[in-house]
Structure 1
Amino acid sequence: MTRYPTNETSLTQETVPFPIVIHKSTMQQAVLPHHHQFYELSFYVEGSALDVVNGQLIRSSRGTVVCKLPHRIHETRIMEGRPYTKFSLMFDMDILLESGIEYALKRYFYNDPGSRHPAFIQLSDTESGLMERLFDELFDEYQSDRLFRQAYIRSKLVEILIGIARSQGGVRGLDARGVPVKPPVPVSTPNTAMQGNKITQVLQYINSHFLTDMSLGSLSEQFDASTPYLSKMIKKITGMTFTEYLHELRMEMACSLLISTRMSILDVSGESGYSSFKTFSRVFLRKKGMPPSKYRSKYADPGHDPGSVSS
């Protein structure tokens, strides 16, 4: 877990019974770069800001949904001192696996971290109104102690995720009805905010290349920093050693492949960045409390046909 400012230091089903948190806030200050182990959605209601997600700069305004996968460095910058109002919804994706019905949603949002799912989605005016209503209802229920509160919250989370998924045409310049919308503009300029912080650059690189062979030594040479310094700073910022952090990222990929494809467990091991199947099996058992085969049988959708992915 990052040592950058954050409150939800551990938001998983292993640490809390019902891992979901929602805030609604009006702010006029920046949010410093940080990352965490849970999924986060930000939905802008009013105002505007600049969001940086994994190095991509996004101009966020009303109707912008910013998607932040676990362990992806992100921050929020203010624009000309103007306030912005947004919902911040944080949750463990495994909350969707409890009923089994929502398995496909987890696969959709979380199957290929960093490449398949966009960092932001711009909703149309109509979609924004509907989404604001859903977030308001979820926020109201979250603050209550009503009967069947958890079931209601989960149902609203599913509605929100389905609404976002159905609006994916907005990323291509169209809303769900095919009507053109104006998306926020990612600024294709060098990531100057990251350039001033070498360790953030290193973490950014790890987040983007965790499936490749890497070591503290190779990172030390690439970023012209001593190995002890990198080791110390990675531990300070993430709360994990370099090796633990690398395993954390690779395990998320492995779990996604196990539940969403028919790939053999040996192939999942290789696709998750492990050259040694023995190491993969040992780390998986330690982190998930069960072998990969049991994880797959417990969480995989029996009706899912992965199609082009061979067994």
Structure 2
Amino acid sequence: MRGARNAMTHFPIFQDSLRLNTFKKGELPLFITHYPVRSSYPNHHHEFVEISLVTEGQGTEIVNGAEHRLKPGSICLLLPYHLHALKLDEGKPLHKFCCMFDMNVLFQSDFAEVGRWLVKLSDDTAPFYDLPAGPFEALRSVLFALEAEYGSESPGKAGFMRIKLLEAIYLYFRNHPGFAAFDPPAASRPGEWDIVKYVNTHFLDESISLEEVAARFGVSVFAVRGAFKRLLGKNFLEYLHLLRVRRATSLLTATDMSVAEIAYDVGFSSLRSFTRVFKEATGVSATDYRKRHNER
């Protein structure tokens, strides 16, 4: 059972421009717009992946407590566990593309490396960076084409948008300063990336377990263990804890939620388990982690 929440606690806002149930069968679960941001917005998160590209103006984006100055060419790829906010420079609007889409779109067997790159994004690999002039123009052109197709009723619309989205994602990773750290993908077996995708979208569920995942996909627990070890270099529980600890560090640095509230929010059934796992992963307690961040 989730812990009781103090009414005065500041929680991040859950904010989605789209939800899966708003799409008809056969439609691509994607939303894109190019718009002027006229006011700052507070810490929030989404169920969907979001890619944003600044085209005009300046400001500051805060992702999981880390700040990045924005300018034309600043790009960011946000996963569901990322908490983010935006601060505008006083009196100066900022123009940007915002493209939100279901993570499932990128876990296709033909593009296995994209799924691997996504799950490799971590606290050590910043989700934001500044594109050089050439790649900036290339990506801006791709996103303009994607936005135009999004507003059309052309034949093959979903397929065209998927191609343009993948082109944008490939440009993001190819130009990422840390791209060399994204290892070549290991060979996957049928259905393995579906298992990884499921864990990435359900890791906050308290009931998720190795046995539950194996039963859901009709495979043995040994097959699930092998998939995670081969594709990600970690066993199932290590990876599940990694996702939960990432989320917890975001909440510790970006909210005033108590450690107990965070423990239950990220899927642990007890504060004791969370405390042990968090310290094993980070080397410090959750309380000390928050103190160190606040002292920076």
- The 8 Å contact of residues 12 and 43 in structure 2, kept in 1 or not, is answered as no
Give structure 1 regions of 4+ aligned residues with deviation exceeding 6 angstroms: 12-16, 248-251, 254-258, 263-266
Deviation at 1:101, TM superposition (A): 1.5
In structure 1, distance between residues paired with 2:122 and 2:65: 11
Q: CA 1:14 to 1:106, structure 2 compared with 1: closer, same or farther past 3 Å?
A: farther
Match of 1:103 among 112, 116, 130: 112
- The 8 Å contact of residues 11 and 38 in structure 1, kept in 2 or not, is answered as no
In structure 2, distance between residues paired with 1:169 and 1:20: 27
In structure 2, distance between residues paired with 1:165 and 1:42: 14
Amino acid paired to 1:107? R
TM-score normalized by structure 2? 0.57
In structure 2, distance between residues paired with 1:264 and 1:41: 23
List aligned pairs for 1:1-311, cutoff 5 A: 4=13, 6-8=15-17, 10-11=19-20, 17-98=27-108, 100-108=109-117, 110-115=118-123, 117-169=125-177, 245=204, 247=206, 261-262=229-230, 267-273=235-241
- The 8 Å contact of residues 87 and 135 in structure 1, kept in 2 or not, is answered as yes
- The 8 Å contact of residues 44 and 85 in structure 1, kept in 2 or not, is answered as yes
- The 8 Å contact of residues 49 and 84 in structure 1, kept in 2 or not, is answered as yes
CA RMSD, aligned part only? 3.9
In structure 2, distance between residues paired with 1:28 and 1:122: 22
In structure 2, distance between residues paired with 1:248 and 1:124: 44
- The 8 Å contact of residues 258 and 265 in structure 1, kept in 2 or not, is answered as no
TM-score normalized by structure 1? 0.55
Deviation at 1:115, TM superposition (A): 2.8
5+ residue gaps in structure 2?
A: 1-10, 181-201, 215-223, 243-266, 268-296
In structure 2, distance between residues paired with 1:155 and 1:139: 13
Tell me the number of residue pairs that the alignment of Structure 1 and Structure 2 aligns. Answer: 200
Q: CA 1:91 to 1:79, structure 2 compared with 1: closer, same or farther past 3 Å?
A: same
In structure 1, distance between residues paired with 2:226 and 2:142: 32
- The 8 Å contact of residues 123 and 167 in structure 1, kept in 2 or not, is answered as yes
In structure 1, distance between residues paired with 2:21 and 2:105: 9
Deviation at 1:261, TM superposition (A): 4.2
Identity %: 22
Aligned residue for 1:234? none
Comparing both chains, which one has the higher relative contact order based on Cα–Cα distances under 8 Å and sequence gaps of 6 or more? 2
Q: Secondary structure at the match of 1:164?
A: helix
In structure 2, distance between residues paired with 1:131 and 1:46: 14
Deviation at 1:85, TM superposition (A): 0.4
Q: CA 1:103 to 1:258, structure 2 compared with 1: closer, same or farther past 3 Å?
A: farther
5+ residue gaps in structure 1?
A: 173-242, 275-282, 284-311
Name which of structure 1's ranges 71-80 and 152-161 shifts more when overlaid on structure 2: 71-80
Amino acid paired to 2:87? R
Deviation at 1:73, TM superposition (A): 1.0
- The 8 Å contact of residues 22 and 139 in structure 1, kept in 2 or not, is answered as yes
